[in-house]
Structure formats: C-alpha cells, structure tokens
C-alpha cells in the first residue's frame, strides 16, 4: 500500500499518519520530521532546512526529492509506505512519479478558519511526535511518553500565515494533478480525529 497524505498545514496529516501507520503497519515518512531530526542533530541538512522552515517557506525541491528517493529504497518500504508532507509542489510530484507509483492520495480538507487556530495552539512531543491542542490538553508533558511538549518554531502566527499561503500557491494544485490520475480521495478534516480516521479506513 503506497499512500500519500495531502492537506494544508493543520488539516491533521501528522495525527492521521500515526494512526494509519500503526493500523496498517507501514512506515510513516514525514519530510518535516526528517528535517526537524536533522536540526536537532545539528547536521548541515538541518541548517539548510531551518533557514527555509523558520520563514514558512519550502525547502528546495531537489533537496527533498533526493531524501525521499533514498528513504523509499530502504528495506522497510518494500511492502508499502505513507508519505506525509511530500510531495508539496508539482515538481516534487513529477519526480516522485519517475521512481514509484502511488495507490491512493488522501486529501484531508479542513476549513481554512480552523487551520490557524489549530497550528498556533498546537503543542508537540519531540519524542514520539504526538500532538495536542492547548484548548483540550493543559499538561506540560506528553501523555504517551512523558516528554515535555514544545511549541514548534514555525507554529507562530506570522510563520503559520506564510505556510498557509505557500500551501495555497504551491501545494493545492496537486489536488487536481492526482484527481486527473484517478487516485485522489477526499477526507473531511473538520471531523473529530477518530471519525476522520474511520473515513480513511473505509477508503483504504
Ligand atoms: P511539516 O512538518 O510537514 O509541516 O513541514 C515543516 C516544514 O518543513 C515546511 O514548512 C517546509 O519548510 C519543510 N518541508 C517539509 N516537507 C517539505 C517538502 N515536501 N518540500 C519542501 N519543504 C518541506
């Protein structure tokens, strides 16, 4: 099963990706997580990625594409994978198509008004990646693994606005691209997490 998750920042890609990956036992590949891991480890790639991420811009296509291409060659990807946050431009989608096919693209659609609030109020666990919202979870530590939750540097109002603009301009055209290929399925990202996941299971 080769699955791509599309959707604006805050639509719930990361949250659903964890559930899909656990339920279907396929690796969850998040380009954002790969960059954050590199930033944490102080690598050259991390430094480069951070200079774009801090402004809410996209890391250059050629950098992201080669990371994903290498990752998909690994042993654990031979029976399937779930891409979260890639592709994000038409160029990335076209590059992906050169080295693999895709079974289904799940487009998680959430109302624009929800996204900013979800992102600015989000707190994430640097250990297991779980994410919470300050309106429904007030503890400082992750429920799953106990690590202290953090407010992502790019979840501030200014950077969030720019990420949403980048999504509209560069990523939204992928919906049509995959619809034309006949692999697009739309999921309602306004729904509560478990209901959204139920929709996804039905599709998959
Ligand atoms: P995410 O965790 O998916 O929201 O990604 C966080 C940030 O990482 C994005 O705002 C981009 O700066 C960068 N990034 C992640 N995936 C990609 C991608 N496929 N292409 C370009 N930049 C990306």
Count of positions (residues) in the chain: 204
Q: What is the DSSP letter of 161?
A: H
* Residue in the structure block whose two tokens are 């996204």: 115
Contacts of 175 (CB under 8 A, 6+ apart): 6, 107, 184
Q: Please count the structural domains in the chain.
A: 1
Q: What is the DSSP letter of 150?
A: B
Interatomic CA distance for residues 200 and 204, integer angstroms? 6
Distance 11 CA to ligand 1 centre (A): 14
Q: Stretch 56-83: mean pLDDT, rounded?
A: 97
Confidence of residue 39 (pLDDT cuts 50, 70, 90): very high
Pocket test for ligand 1, best of 35, 40, 96, 170 (most atoms within 8 A of CB): 35
- 113 has a pLDDT exceeding 90: no
Distance 87 CA to ligand 1 centre (A): 9
- 202 has a pLDDT exceeding 90: yes
Q: Stretch 71-98: mean pLDDT, rounded?
A: 97
Domain that holds residue 183: 2-110+156-203
Q: Stretch 171-189: mean pLDDT, rounded?
A: 98
For residue 60, which of 31, 100, 33 has the smallest C-alpha distance? 31
Confidence of residue 102 (pLDDT cuts 50, 70, 90): very high
For residue 188, give the 3-state DSSP assignment. Answer: strand
Q: Which residues contact ligand 1 via a Cβ below 6 A?
A: 9, 31-32, 35, 52-53, 56-59, 64, 85-86, 88, 92, 154, 163
Q: What is the pLDDT of residues 134-163, one digit of tens each?
A: 999 999 999 999 999 999 999 999 999 999
In a domain, 48, yes or no: yes
User: The whole model's pTM is what?
Assistant: 0.94
Interatomic CA distance for residues 90 and 171, integer angstroms? 7
Supply the mean pLDDT for the chain.
96
Name the phi and psi angles at 124, rounded to 5. Answer: -120, 155
In a domain, 126, yes or no: no
Q: What is the DSSP letter of 89?
A: S
Q: Report the CATH number at residue 102.
A: 3.40.50.300
In a domain, 115, yes or no: no
Interatomic CA distance for residues 58 and 130, integer angstroms? 23
Confidence (pLDDT) at 200: 98
């Amino acid at each position: 099963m080769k699955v791509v998750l599309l959707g604006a920042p805050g639509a719930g890609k990361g949250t659903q990706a964890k559930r899909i990956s656990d339920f279907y036992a396929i690796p969850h590949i998040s380009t954002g997580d790969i960059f954050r891991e590199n930033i944490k480890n102080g690598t050259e790639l991390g430094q480069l990625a951070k200079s774009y991420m801090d402004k809410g811009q996209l890391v250059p296509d050629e950098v992201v594409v080669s990371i994903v291409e290498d990752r998909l060659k690994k042993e654990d990807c031979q029976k399937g994978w779930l891409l979260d946050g890639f592709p994000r431009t038409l160029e990335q989608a076209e590059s992906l198509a050169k080295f693999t096919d895709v079974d289904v693209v799940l487009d998680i659609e959430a109302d624009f008004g929800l996204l900013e609030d979800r992102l600015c109020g989000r707190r994430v666990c640097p250990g297991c990646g779980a994410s919470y919202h300050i309106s429904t979870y007030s503890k400082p530590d992750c429920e799953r693994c106990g690590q202290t939750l953090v407010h992502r540097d790019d979840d501030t109002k200014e950077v969030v606005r720019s990420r949403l603009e980048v999504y509209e301009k560069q990523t939204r055209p992928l919906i049509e691209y995959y619809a034309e290929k006949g692999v697009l399925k739309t999921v309602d990202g306004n729904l509560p997490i478990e209901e959204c996941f139920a929709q996804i299971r039905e599709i998959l």
